[in-house]
Amino acid sequence: MTAVRRSVLQDVRFCGPALLAFLILGPAALAETAKTVTLDVKDEEIHTILLSMQKQCGVRNLVIDPGVEGRGTFLLRDLPCPTAFEVVASTMSLLITEEENSVVTVSRRK
């Protein structure tokens, strides 16, 4: 066996367990760092709900259209941020769009 081939086989043997550990631990590590939303609100203003979600999800720029109004009741526990925004948007008939430069816009669905 050539020296190069022997070196490659050693690298593969070393990389195999490391790759396996990454594949097993990687998703768990990502799940721990994924941001979630917890809401327990009854008949709360939608602006207050959206601002709470903004803080919990780390949204830097939230633009709320003046036509967005209403009240909502939500009981969400550790829901991933994208799912939480989808739930609130569909329940409140809103359109939530992610723009460039970490800008999220919220408007009434037409």
pLDDT digits (tens, 9 = 90+) for 52-94: 999 999 999 999 999 999 999 999 999 999 999 999 999 999 9
Contact (Cβ atoms closer than 8 angstroms) between residue 71 and residue 44: yes
28 and 15, same structural domain?
yes
* Structural domain count, the chain: 2
Q: Is 80 helix (H, G, I), strand (E, B) or coil?
A: strand
| pTM of the complete model beyond 0.85 | no
Tokens of 1: 């066996």
CATH of the domain at 65: 3.55.50.30
60 and 22, same structural domain?
no
Contact (Cβ atoms closer than 8 angstroms) between residue 94 and residue 80: no
99 and 50, same structural domain?
yes
90 and 49, same structural domain?
yes
pLDDT score at 5: 55
Contact (Cβ atoms closer than 8 angstroms) between residue 35 and residue 81: yes
Tokens of 95: 């359109």
How distant is the alpha carbon of residue 43 from its chain centre? 25
55 and 6, same structural domain?
no
**Which residue range is the domain that position 73 belongs to?**
36-108
